[in-house]
Structure 1
Amino acid sequence: MAQAAHHGPFAFAEHLLNIDGRPHPVENRYAIATLLVGAVAAIFSIWNNMHLVSSWAGLVGIALGARAQMISVTTAQRFLAVLGLGAAGVGLYLGLAHGGPFGGVLG
């Protein structure tokens, strides 16, 4: 059955991101991953003792977001990537302010 519908965990989100009517699975997954990692970084930056998680998640989120911006095709993908980049930046900067990615290891 070659025309079987694809139902994955992000199938509905990927459908919303394909506003041009063509599938872009790699680009969609980069945008979604940027948003999720950015959210993790921002949420964990609330607590002072979680600076390791928020710093590293922020670094990974910024790298993912940069890649997502470079390969994005649709405006919806860029929108998610920018939201994720902002959240990752907040998580990174607050994580750095609370102790950084190597807190306690180097000093």
Structure 2
Amino acid sequence: MPRALGPTEREPFRLTLNSDGRKHTRENTLTLIALVCGLVAFVSGFVVSAHMIASWAGVVGFIVGMYSQYVSATTAERSVNIVAIVMSFVGVATGIYHGGFIP
């Protein structure tokens, strides 16, 4: 009970996907691939001439993100996966609106 009244030491802030302390190399790699594809799809989805890039990057990001969500091990990975899946979906939707998968 002495810790309840005394000062407590705080851990330094670290940005990590491994919140459980174990390495998850495959899961982290899938999460980052989905995030990069989602970001590319989202950004290029607003450029009309880049509709093909947005469409394909969005589909790849969506599929990789869904699989990554299925095999994820920590809450941080799941949170990033949801952001990546949403960005991929918006990117593929705007890419299809602007012209689709073929030139």
Place the TM-score, normalised by the shorter chain, in its bin. Answer: 0.7 to 0.9
Higher Cα radius of gyration: 2
- Residues 23-56 of structure 1, C-alpha deviation per residue, up to 9 Å, x if partnerless? 0000011111111110000000111110000000
Q: Corresponding residue for 1:44?
A: 44
The equivalent of 1:69 in structure 2 is 69
What are structure 2's unaligned runs of at least 5 residues? Answer: 1-14
Query: For the residues of structure 2 that align with 1:75 and 1:32, how far apart are their CA atoms?
Result: 15
Give TM-score, length-normalised by structure 1.
0.81
Q: What SS does the aligned partner of 1:29 have?
A: helix
Which TM-score applies when normalising by structure 2?
Answer: 0.84
Q: In structure 1, how many angstroms separate the alpha carbons of the residues matched to 2:27 and 2:69?
A: 9
Distance in 2, Cα, partners of 1:63 & 1:83? 13
Q: Which residue of 2 aligns with 1:93?
A: 93
User: Which amino acid letter does the alignment assign opposite residue 28 of structure 1?
Assistant: N
Moved over 3 A (4+): none
**Which residue does the alignment assign to 1:28?**
28
RMSD between aligned alpha carbons?
0.9
Q: Note the residue ranges of structure 1 that are not aligned, 5 or more in a row.
A: 1-14
Secondary structure of the residue aligned to 2:19 is: coil
Whole-Å separation in 1 of the counterparts to 2:77 and 2:40: 19
Return the alpha-carbon distance in structure 2 between the equivalents of residues 99 and 91 of structure 1. 12
